[in-house]
Amino acid sequence: MIALENIQFHYPHSSVGVHDINLQVETGEFLVVVGASGSGKSTLLQLIAGFLTPLQGRVLLDHQDVTQLSCGERGLGIVLQDYVLFNHMTVLGNVAYPLKVKGVRQVERHRRARKILHDVGLEALEHYYPSQLSGGQQQRVAIARALVFEPRALLLDEPFSALDASRRESMRQELKHIQRQFGVTTLMITHDQEEALMLGDHVAVLEQGELLQHSAPHQLYTQPVSEAVARFIGRTNFIDAQVINSQRIQTADLGILEVTPHAFTVGQTVRAMIRPEAIIANPVSDIVNRVPTTLVERQFLGAQQRHYLLCGTTTLSLESASTPDHITHVALPPTHIHLFNR
């Protein structure tokens, strides 16, 4: 288990850092921390790893306060962006190296290194050198090295950044399999929303050093706590509105829309959100929230098509695997409309 309690940190002569972070990664859980560049996610990982010391708050591993312990004393497996493999060592030597540092005898460390290489599917490459490996193979060597000494937790710093798009997809699956196989508590940082939603049991969103939301991927996507989270996680449509009652809002271009019951007050201005894939093209005439529209642009995205539609002066995007050539009306299902404070 990893726990951060009231963590504060900023770099000298700067406000850049993390502010009052409270976060917990349960034993065996895969947590992904996602955010844009400068959001504080790398700082957070370095605070957990022991590369940085918080100005305030505590870092706990399995309920032990490790805030003042060095990186080497924390017993964490760490995989950095560039993998930091030793080019003069074979795959076996690289994986066995942490055990050598710990004073494990050669026969035993090679036995354990070979076992972990077998577990990650690299046993046939033990005599290869890093320069002879693909990017994906190098990544698996780095992960094997991080796991060989049975760490208390695994920290991953943008592990797919050096891979091309097609390789990233397969390596995500492999990483998820390895994490499940070993049951190791894992925290990974990334800027990739899709990666976060796919891999994480839970996802934490950081912005300018603040934790905006920490929840399961589906909840994060469908029930973001703020407009900032909604904008960062996935594509979405925003519509300005005013509350009529607990189940209806008034918009400038789309008229009155029915929504699910909410706690906003009558007359309050709000921002309504609906995801592009939730909008229905050419719905039946008696459906609620049916709005006339004009197709402005169509984009082919492979498995999906994106349509930009004009409703008065409001532009909506609609995404679907198959849509008609002509769209005259759309419907916004109430259950897919989410409201925020403006």
Note the pLDDT of residue 160: 83
Q: State how far the Cα of 2 lies from the Cα of 163, in Å rounded to an integer.
A: 28
CB-based contact 98:89 (threshold 8 Å): no
Q: Which of 334, 331, 338, 337 is nearest to 286 (CA)?
A: 331
What is the layout of strands, in order, in the sheet containing 294-300?
A: 294-300, 305-311, 314-320
Instruction: For the chain, give the percent of residues with pLDDT over 70.
Output: 100
Measured CA to CA in angstroms, residue 136 lies from 163, 191, 193 at distances of 7, 19, 21
Q: Judge whether 306 and 259 are in contact, CB under 8 Å.
A: no
pLDDT over 90 (residue 147): yes
pLDDT at 84: 87
pLDDT tens digits, residue range 63-100?
A: 999 999 999 999 999 998 888 899 999 999 999 999 99
pLDDT at 166 exceeding the cut of 80: no
Tokens found for residue 25: 């990664």
- C-beta of residue 150 within 8 angstroms of C-beta of residue 115: no
Cβ neighbours of residue 178 closer than 8 Å, sequence gap 6 or more: 119, 120, 140, 143, 147
Q: Is the pLDDT of residue 235 over 80?
A: yes
pLDDT at 168: 81
Sort 179 into a burial class: Cβ within 10 Å, 0-12 / 13-18 / 19+: buried
At 336 the three-state DSSP class reads: helix
Query: Is this prediction's pTM over 0.75?
Result: yes
Report the Cα 60 to chain-centroid distance in Å.
22
Instruction: Please give the pLDDT value at position 322.
Output: 81
**Mean model confidence pLDDT for the chain:** 93
User: Could you read off the pLDDT of 43-68 as tens digits, one per residue?
Assistant: 999 999 999 999 999 999 999 999 99
Q: What angle do CA 314, 316, 319 make, to 5 degrees?
A: 175
User: To which H or E segment does residue 181 belong?
Assistant: helix 165-182
Annotated domain spans of the chain: 2-229, 235-341
Name which of 48, 76, 79, 90 is nearest 163 in CA terms: 79
**Fold adopted by 2-229:** Rossmann fold (3.40.50)
169-223 pLDDT, tens per residue?
888 888 999 999 999 999 999 999 999 999 999 999 999 999 999 999 999 999 9
Residue pointed to by tokens 């049916």: 290
Strands 64-65 and 56-61, sheet pairing: antiparallel
CA distances from 89 to 76, 96, 339 (A): 22, 10, 56
